[in-house]
Structure 1
Amino acid sequence: MKQALDRFLAFLRRKDYGGARAYAEGFPEGERERLLGGLDLLERDPEALEDPLFAAEREVVLGVKAVREGRREEAEARFHKALQLDPFHHRALTNLGTLYLERGELEAALDLYQRALKLCPDDPLLHENLAALYKKKGDLDKMVAHMKRATRLKMAPPALDPLTGERKRPFRFPLWALFLLLALLAYLFLHKP
């Protein structure tokens, strides 16, 4: 059960609530209701959510709300609390880094972004933030590289299957089928009537 809950948390960390909802459907009845109820509160009324499983995500959601409302100090405290609850929450690191970037604390922001990058290298928003940081630092090569990476990631299909949490494997034409096709084409070409 712990491994299944860790996969569920991975959906929360990515803010893939749709994937989390689909994944929660596979849990036994009591746990399924708990997870779906928590997701519902995250979206409707995060202040009312008291389930410890959702605590870090709740702090990130409320931190983002505080940023939107101009309460930067509260937001920073919430992102720090989220990281105490879940040190692997890359969005908490990214949001905290953005607050530091806005204050001009470029090295502190870079450190947070690099930590987030180790946890989630495929987050396009993180790459956009790194591009903004490198622009401020005057490193245009790195800025362009991160903007390109962000663009590619936004255009890529989802990497995880929402039901299993496993990486989706791209469709690959089996090598044996390719050889069979080539052999058939060669036979047809060489034995024309």
Structure 2
Amino acid sequence: MLQDLEAKALAGDAEAQALVHLLRLLRRKAYQEARAYAEGFPGELRERLLAGLSLLEEAPDRLEDPLFAAEREVLLGVRAVGEGRREEAEARFQRALALDPYHHRALTNLGNLYLERGEVEAALDLYQRALKLAPDDPLVHENLAALYRKKGDLDRMVAHLKRATRLKMRPPVSLDPLTGKPKRSFRIPLWVWVSLLALLAYLFLKKP
């Protein structure tokens, strides 16, 4: 399904492009932003997307919509890890990647399982793939820091910890729910500042 959707998006299909952007929000687990974005879709599609987002948060095991399948597998995989069912978790993360090879959280969670059982190089490969897909996700950098600590590479560990800290401190980017693009912050044009300074200078010099 993802390949067909991306092909339509590349061909200029506006709805497909919007759905591809929604998938990017799901990969980041930005459900609140995804919900705001889904509000901009028309009619039945809007209801479908909002219903899928609600099930992701409330009962992912009941979610059958193929658009949300990869994210569902990641969530159920994380639940399986928490309950000690690591073989099931690994299978779910692998399934998520088969459905969506760009799902960086599936990669990092799979890497965590590998690192936990001592497969450091395999974990590193997965983390580096996730980093290429999501270089601004602080969790990816935290996972890499943990891996480099295990390898004894303290310089790289510190570098990734610093990067993760900077990313966490960065103010969130507001997205336009209609376009999916970052909203432009309001900026006062330079000429306004110049005019204001000239006016203040004039008033100051005019004082008796």
Q: Quick one: structure 1 residues 177 and 44, their matched pair in 2 at CA, closer, same or farther if it must change by over 3 Å? A: same
Task: Kindly provide the amino acid, as one letter, of the partner of residue 190 in structure 2.
Answer: L
Contact 2:69 2:99 in 1 (8 A): yes
Q: Do the aligned residues in 1 keep the contact of 2:176 with 2:182 (CA within 8 Å)?
A: no
What is the CA distance between 1:173 and its match in structure 2?
Answer: 4.2
CA distance in 1, matches of 2:94, 2:44: 31
Contact conserved, 2:107 with 2:130, CA < 8 A, in 1? yes
1:140 to 135, 141, 154: 154
1:95 Cα deviation after fit:
0.7
Query: What is the DSSP-based 3-state SS (H/G/I as helix, E as strand, rest coil) of the residue aligned with 1:165?
Result: coil
Amino acid at match of 1:8: L
Structure 2: where are the runs of 5+ without partners? Answer: 1-14
Distance in 2, Cα, partners of 1:124 & 1:184: 46
TM-score (norm 2): 0.85
* Unaligned stretches of 5+ residues in structure 1: none
SS at match of 1:5: helix
- Deviation of residue 7 (structure 1)? 1.2
Once the two structures are TM-superposed, the CA of residue 64 in structure 1 deviates from its matched residue by: 0.4
CA separation in 2, counterparts of 1:13 and 1:162? 18
Letter in structure 2 aligned against 1:27: F
**Mapped contact 2:81–2:89 kept (Cα < 8 A):** yes
Quote the RMSD (CA, aligned, Å). Answer: 1.7
Q: How does 1:96-175 map to 2 (within 5 A)?
A: 96-161=110-175, 163=177, 164-175=179-190
Structure-1-length-normalised TM-score: 0.91
Deviation, 1:178, is 3.4
Counterparts of 1:1-193 in structure 2, within 5 Å, are 1-161=15-175, 163=177, 164-188=179-203, 190-193=205-208
Structure 1 contact 20–162 (Cα < 8 Å) conserved: no
